[in-house]
Amino acid sequence: MYKKFKILHVLPSRSYSGAENVAIQIIKGLSDKYEAAYCSQPGPIIDTCKMYNVQFIPIKSRTPYEIARASCEWGADLVHAHGCRMAGMSVTAGLKIPVIFHLHNDPDWIRKINPLSLIHFYVSMRSRKVISCTSTITEQDVFNKYLLDKVITINNVVDSDKIKELSRMGKCNKSYDVALFGRLNYQKDPLRFLSIIKETKKYLPNIKVVMIGDGDLKQDCELYIEKNELKDNVDMCGFMVNPFYILKNTKVVVSVSKFEGLPMALLEAMSLNKPVIATPVGGNKIIVNNSRGVLCDTDKEFIHKIIEILTNERYYDTLSEGVKDYVDKNLSIRSYLDKVNNVYMQCFNDTN
């Protein structure tokens, strides 16, 4: 019996969200070919790993030393680093094994020469391969012409069958009109979301909203809700290992992100046939169009479309059918895993 290569997925976050979802999908989906583990600082993500039966390797801090220690002690043959920070730590850790840099976001600073884009370029060049979750990231990278041989675009997908199964495993006693699903941080801009809901309430006084996720803006959101008398309209659920039974009882998902890669949260919501209203950033422009959702720039546009979708049943049903058709045709988990496996094989073949 041959020995499986060992792949260590290193991530910066202690809780479950988009990039963490991607890592766990890859670990589970390629378990017949590789022995893989999830590596980060301890936190709520441990419960998620247990739920998916994924091995968890803890690190004490996000440093090159800790990544080197965890990698060597576990005996990794390859490090799959998610995000620029962890890829940077990995390529400077003195490892003698390949490092894959997996891009999950499309930040504004990648478009011009500045200290952050220079670091990003350095990390990309030091990595064996770079996986980009959407072509929009690499197309806008100021250094993209130097990275053509490094970067491989593999669009994110989700296991829609698993999500539907999880949506049946919990019970939600409330129905919601709108959901914000993801981290409560600068990128996701939850305070703008709440401002939009505040204005929408003037037209739909009984609108019911749920915010699923945690982050450093959680307290600011709680204060905004209290100050603007939104307590009867907005529920904050925090981080949930299984949010899908709540999303199942929600009509539409809204994203006001400042930047994105190919957002897993929106793909997961779409797996439950939920129309999406989102900002035209990053991969949103790929997965959202007029047949399955709406792209909006201004708060006024968001308010108008939320009201239209919630009050026009025929329009809602048309969008929901468009979402279902897109998911059925484009979100093949098997094809995604085959592409990731090909990247792994290239790395191992180059090493040998």
The range of the structural domain enclosing residue 263 comes to: 160-330
Query: Which residues, other chains included, contact 44 with Cβ-Cβ below 8 Å and sequence gap of 6+?
Result: 14, 15, 16, 239, 241
Query: Do 216 and 71 share a structural domain?
Result: no
What parts of the chain have a pLDDT lower than 50? 1
Number of structural domains in the chain = 2
Residue 121 sits in a domain whose CATH number is: 3.40.50.2000
pLDDT tens digits for 133-171?
888 788 888 999 999 889 999 988 888 888 999 999 888
pTM for this structure? 0.75
Is residue 319 within 8 A of residue 292, CB to CB? The reply is yes
Query: Do 103 and 22 share a structural domain?
Result: yes
The token duo for 351 is 């090493």
DSSP code of 272? T
Query: Which residues, other chains included, contact 88 with Cβ-Cβ below 8 Å and sequence gap of 6+?
Result: 119, 122, 123
What confidence score (pLDDT) does residue 351 get? 65
Query: Do 265 and 131 share a structural domain?
Result: no
- Alpha helices in the chain, H assignment, sequence order: 18-29, 45-51, 64-74, 84-91, 115-126, 135-140, 160-167, 190-200, 218-227, 244-247, 264-271, 284-287, 299-311, 313-330, 333-351
Query: Do 314 and 168 share a structural domain?
Result: yes
Closest to 246 in 3D by CA, of 302, 315, 163: 163
Query: Do 166 and 151 share a structural domain?
Result: no
Query: Do 302 and 209 share a structural domain?
Result: yes
The token duo for 9 is 């997925």
Instruction: In whole angstroms, give the CA distance from residue 152 to residue 131.
Output: 5
Query: Do 263 and 120 share a structural domain?
Result: no
Query: Do 306 and 230 share a structural domain?
Result: yes
Query: Do 14 and 140 share a structural domain?
Result: yes
Query: Do 167 and 111 share a structural domain?
Result: no
Query: Do 115 and 88 share a structural domain?
Result: yes
Query: Do 204 and 182 share a structural domain?
Result: yes
Single-letter code of the amino acid located at 105: N
Closest to 80 in 3D by CA, of 41, 49, 40, 119: 40
pLDDT tens digits for 225-267?
999 999 999 999 998 888 999 999 999 999 999 988 888 889 9
